Amino acid sequence: MDKRLLTIQDISCVGQCSLTVALPVISACGIETAILPSSVLSNHTAKGFTTWTFCDLTEEMPKILNQWMKDGITFDAFYTGYVSKSQIPYILSIMEKTARRGALRIVDPVMADNGMLYKGFDDDFPQEMLKLCKNADVVLPNITEASLMLGMPYIAEGYDKAYVEEMLHRLYDMGAKNVVLTGVSFEPGKLGVACFDGEKTEFYFNEHLNASKHGTGDCYASAFAGALMRGKSLIEAASIAADFVVEAIRLTLDDEDHWYGVKFEKALPYLISRL
């Protein structure tokens, strides 16, 4: 039986993020990709768009689960992205009731960056997100998200390996089986990830391009999930995903009008070649 992954996150209809990234990227990895939208937005909410529409789909989640259970629909993996606090209990129930034997749980705790929670999240949200992370096979926080969930001070730059390793170990001790910390940098011009599987810590770094692009975290997590489902090891999947994001950014740099995301579609042949 072919593997089937369910990804749960929002749909921003325009903006190259969330489900509009996850579905094509994971599908390109050769994995059947089912979706459960947490909400629908006309476009993403980052700077550049002035307004947007928003439709919350929380109430649909238990209805969809009931239908899936009637039809015996199950999944080999789950990958969660941007979700709300009220949706977390439903997501845990979906994971419990539709998981095939050995199903993977991949959690990208999307909620913060640059030391701050995203608009719309309350201060208690990081502790709610821990409920998903505690049961995860892999968690994919950035440094801000890890610091908020752990109650550690956020250090923007100049931190050392001990700081990163404390985050990895503490997230592991809270129940995550594997931890991939993104946005790690120990020197100018290099940006990468730190992986911990409960025994060893591994690092991977690539070129740090001087560009801030929306949706790169979604590109990373989606490529990681696809590579992991294709049998790549933790560090292999983390490295492939990092390289894919760099390639997508590089293919976008010469287009000043493309400010709302990265041209990940043009980087999909590169991703497929790495698998």
- Could you say which DSSP state residue 30 is in? T
Question: Quick one: which of 224, 258, 262 has its CA closest to 241?
Answer: 224
pLDDT of residue 234 exceeding 90: yes
pLDDT per position as a tens digit, 153-176? 999 999 999 999 999 999 999 999
CB atoms within 10 A of CB 59: 9
Q: Which uninterrupted H or E stretch holds 116? A: strand 116-117
Does 47 score more than 90 pLDDT?
no
pTM above 0.95, yes or no: yes
Angstrom CA distances, 134 to 104, 131, 243, stand at 13, 5, 28
Q: pLDDT for 19-31, tens place per residue?
A: 999 999 999 999 9
pLDDT at 187: 94
